[in-house]
């Protein structure tokens, strides 16, 4: 029998859940609702129901939460980038801290101390140093746009913006984004208008036809600015866009292009061509300089990354006698951050290009006691590797969202360093891994850090000491 949607009236939202959804309880069932905040009382339309939970949409806010605020972004609600913009920032921090304790309590099986108060982000808006926009020949149309079309009015359907959540071929045209500082918005708007005025072919995400595909903007805290235009061909039309950017925005310090004819938008495996000035930009963290290439990973909230790494460094308490392993080292940011205090730092990372960046970053800063190796962590970190490079006194690990491979956890237990500092972007998988490590390690300190305001994401740093 086909499920019949129904409405729950006066449903009180009591908690924040995963993926930016909020949580309510109704007749013993958990109800997940998007677009609302704890404290809201709503009429909810149930669109899916399982044995223990349901998913619903807000039909009407009966009584708004005292913590609900007016989102500044005009695209809020359609763009999926800042799902918590309507929630007071202090409440965002409260629920991020709660996310850590809830995961540790429900998924972890180990004793732990009270987490320290979460470190708030210095900037609540305009904090990202990298954004990627997508060209579309037919943008996502609002109800107002469709009404205009029905009335015979002309509506510009080409756009440059973000993918609408769960719709690979739908792009929301963006007027002003609150995630990246100026001149990001001005650059995007200038490129879009220039292309529309000259009738340049915007990319069709279904037929894979068109010239203009993506626009990537990266900026550093030092004021350097990288712009990358992704096209399907370098011809007179695409070159004209690059020439316009070079002329209109002299503050661009690295102007590049990529010719991507693949079926997907990823460009990490493509060749980056310099059109003007440098092939990289320089970033600074503390007293260290980092060379950031177009494909380099660098924490997208650079100001807050300094605080995150400072916590990791403090927890590690590295001395001149210590050998440090930095697992999932990326471009060696943490490795170089602690290297001057250590005897030696060994960094391991899956992405070979990132390892090359890590080596360059050590050279730039005159650091000679780092070693970097590329490969699958579970295959590289073996007893033979440890025998060849020396057993670590301290391990810093910053794995991806799915956490550490069981073989890596097993090797950590075999190496038995005196301290492990575990940096995580997913407290759920972190709790799982800490449970496995608890046979030899005790959790001593927990420090949540907010890297991404207006999202549900939270970073968490844990200090473990051998029992």
Catalytic residues, which ones?
425
Distance CA 348, CA 386 (A): 12
Strand (E) or helix (H) holding 173? strand 171-173
Q: What single DSSP character describes residue 140?
A: P
Beta strand ranges found along 314-458 (DSSP E) = 323-327, 344-349, 370-374, 394-397, 419-424, 441-449
Under a CB-based contact definition with an 8 Å cutoff, are residues 375 and 355 in contact? no
Total count of residues recorded for the chain? 467
Joined together, the tokens standing for residue 64 give 């708004």
Distance CA 363, CA 129 (A): 24
Q: Phi and psi (nearest 5°) for 359? A: -65, -45
Distance CA 112, CA 134 (A): 44
32 in helix, strand or coil? strand
58 in helix, strand or coil? strand
Under a CB-based contact definition with an 8 Å cutoff, are residues 46 and 54 in contact? yes
Distance CA 418, CA 440 (A): 10
Q: What single DSSP character describes residue 193?
A: H
Q: Phi and psi (nearest 5°) for 435? A: -60, -45
Q: What single DSSP character describes residue 314?
A: H
The two most distant CA atoms of the chain are separated, in Å, by 76
> In sequence order, what are the residues at sequence separation of 6 or more whose Cβ sits closer than 8 angstroms to the Cβ of residue 422?
397, 430, 433, 434, 461, 462, 464
Cβ neighbourhood burial of 446 (10 Å; 0-12, 13-18, 19+): buried
Q: Phi and psi (nearest 5°) for 133? A: -110, 155
Distance CA 302, CA 149 (A): 43
Q: What single DSSP character describes residue 152?
A: T
Strand order in the sheet with 273-277: 171-173, 159-163, 130-136, 212-219, 225-231, 254-259, 273-277
> In sequence order, what are the residues at sequence separation of 6 or more whose Cβ sits closer than 8 angstroms to the Cβ of residue 51?
none
Under a CB-based contact definition with an 8 Å cutoff, are residues 324 and 316 in contact? yes
């Amino acid at each position: 029998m086909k499920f019949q949607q129904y409405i729950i009236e006066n449903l009180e939202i009591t908690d924040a859940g995963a993926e930016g959804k909020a949580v309510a309880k109704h007749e013993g069932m958990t109800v997940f609702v998007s677009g609302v905040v704890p404290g809201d009382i709503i009429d909810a339309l149930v669109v899916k129901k399982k044995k223990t939970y349901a998913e619903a949409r807000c039909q009407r806010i009966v009584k708004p939460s005292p913590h609900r605020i007016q989102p500044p972004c005009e695209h809020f609600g359609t763009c999926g980038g800042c799902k918590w913009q309507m929630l007071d920032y202090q409440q965002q921090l409260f629920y991020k801290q709660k996310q850590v304790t809830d995961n540790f309590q429900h998924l972890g099986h180990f004793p732990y101390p009270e987490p320290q108060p979460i470190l708030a982000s210095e900037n609540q808006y305009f904090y990202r140093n990298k954004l990627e926009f997508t060209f579309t020949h037919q943008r996502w149309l609002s109800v107002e746009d469709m009404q205009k079309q029905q009335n015979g009015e002309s509506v510009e359907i080409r756009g440059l913006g973000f993918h609408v959540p769960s719709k690979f071929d739908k792009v929301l045209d963006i007027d002003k984004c609150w995630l990246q500082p100026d001149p990001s918005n001005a650059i995007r708007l200038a490129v879009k208008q220039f292309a529309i005025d000259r009738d340049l072919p915007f990319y069709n995400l279904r037929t894979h036809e068109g010239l203009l595909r993506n626009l990537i903007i990266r900026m550093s805290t030092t004021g350097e600015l990288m712009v990358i235009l992704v096209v399907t061909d370098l011809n007179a039309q695409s070159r004209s866009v690059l020439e316009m950017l070079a002329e209109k925005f002299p503050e661009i310090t690295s102007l590049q292009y990529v010719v991507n004819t693949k079926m997907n938008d990823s460009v990490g495996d493509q060749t980056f061509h310099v059109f003007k000035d440098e092939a990289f930009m320089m970033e600074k963290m503390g007293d260290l300089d980092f060379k950031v290439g177009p494909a380099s990973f660098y924490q997208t909230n650079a100001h807050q990354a300094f605080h995150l790494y400072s916590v990791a460094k403090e927890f590690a308490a590295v001395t001149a006698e210590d050998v440090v392993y930095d697992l999932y080292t990326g471009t060696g940011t943490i490795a170089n951050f602690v290297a001057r205090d250590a005897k030696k730092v060994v960094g391991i990372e899956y992405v070979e290009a990132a390892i090359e960046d890590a080596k360059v970053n050590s050279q730039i800063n005159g650091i000679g006691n780092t070693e970097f190796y590329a490969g699958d962590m579970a295959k590289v970190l073996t007893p033979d590797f440890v025998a060849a490079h020396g057993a670590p006194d301290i391990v810093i690990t910053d794995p991806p969202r799915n956490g550490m491979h069981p073989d890596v956890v097993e090797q950590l237990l075999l190496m038995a360093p005196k301290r492990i500092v575990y940096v995580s972007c997913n407290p759920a998988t972190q709790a799982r891994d800490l449970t496995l490590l608890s046979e030899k390690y005790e959790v001593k300190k927990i420090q949540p850090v907010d890297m991404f305001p207006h999202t549900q994401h939270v970073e968490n740093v844990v200090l473990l000491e051998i029992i």
